[in-house]
Amino acid sequence: MPESTGVASGETVNGASTTVATTTGNNTIPLGTVTVSNNAIAAHDLNVATNAGGGYTVFIRYTGKPTFGGNEIDDLATSNASPGPFTSPGTEAFGYTTDDATLGTGTPGRFSSNKWAAFSTDNYEVAYSAAATTATETTRVGYQVGISGSTPAGNYTTTVIFTATPTY
């Protein structure tokens, strides 16, 4: 897994402003209290260095939709291959973004201009380098959640997993 560091509230992630802070060390995404008026946005910086001649790819996935009891928060209706704007406040959704404009698969730059994708239990690329990097490269990955008026209150949880793969 790449090393991740926390991002403060009020920082930028791919054109959006974070509304809550994350911390370094425990890798939690404390999205806090979300209302129908305001989506919550958090981020982590992924730090990767490798001597692999072909560089690396970092993938993201989750273990399942955020749940509380028998309730789930819906996935955003876009994909990694075709990310789009996040839903307006008042609409239930959960998704991610990346500020890496040089992804190695699909259309490079597809996440630019504040685009978001639905999480999946499958691995999807969020960071890429085509060459070895002796200096650490940092990619910021953001998370956003929105709820509707009918989303039951609760402490919703899921697990987000990053996998870094060197290319030799």
Give 114-159 pLDDT, tens digit per residue.
Answer: 999 999 999 999 999 999 988 899 999 999 999 999 999 988 988 8
Provide the 8-state DSSP code for 157. B
CATH number of 3-166: 2.60.40
Which residues are within 8 A (CB) of 70 and not within 5 positions of it... i.e. 6 or more apart?
A: none
Q: 3-state class of 10 per DSSP?
A: coil
What is the model's pLDDT at position 127? 96
Task: Tell me which residue has tokens 């040089």.
Answer: 102
Please report which confidence band the pLDDT of residue 79 belongs to, taking 50, 70 and 90 as the band edges. Answer: very high
Give 106-121 pLDDT, tens digit per residue.
Answer: 998 999 989 999 999 9
What is the model's pLDDT at position 33? 82
What is the model's pLDDT at position 59? 97
Q: Dihedral sign, CA of 46, 47, 52, 53?
A: positive
148 with 46: CB under 8 angstroms? no
The dihedral region occupied by 62, where left means phi > 0, alpha psi between -120 and 50, and beta the remainder, is: beta
Provide the 8-state DSSP code for 88. P
What is the model's pLDDT at position 134? 81
The one-letter amino acid at 22? T
Tell me what the mean pLDDT of segment 2-15 comes to: 92
Q: Per-residue pLDDT for 1 more than 70?
A: no
Which one has a higher pLDDT value, 4 or 92?
92
Two tokens, residue 55: 């560089």
Give 14-63 pLDDT, tens digit per residue.
Answer: 999 999 998 877 667 888 888 899 999 999 999 999 999 999 999 999 99
What is the model's pLDDT at position 47? 94
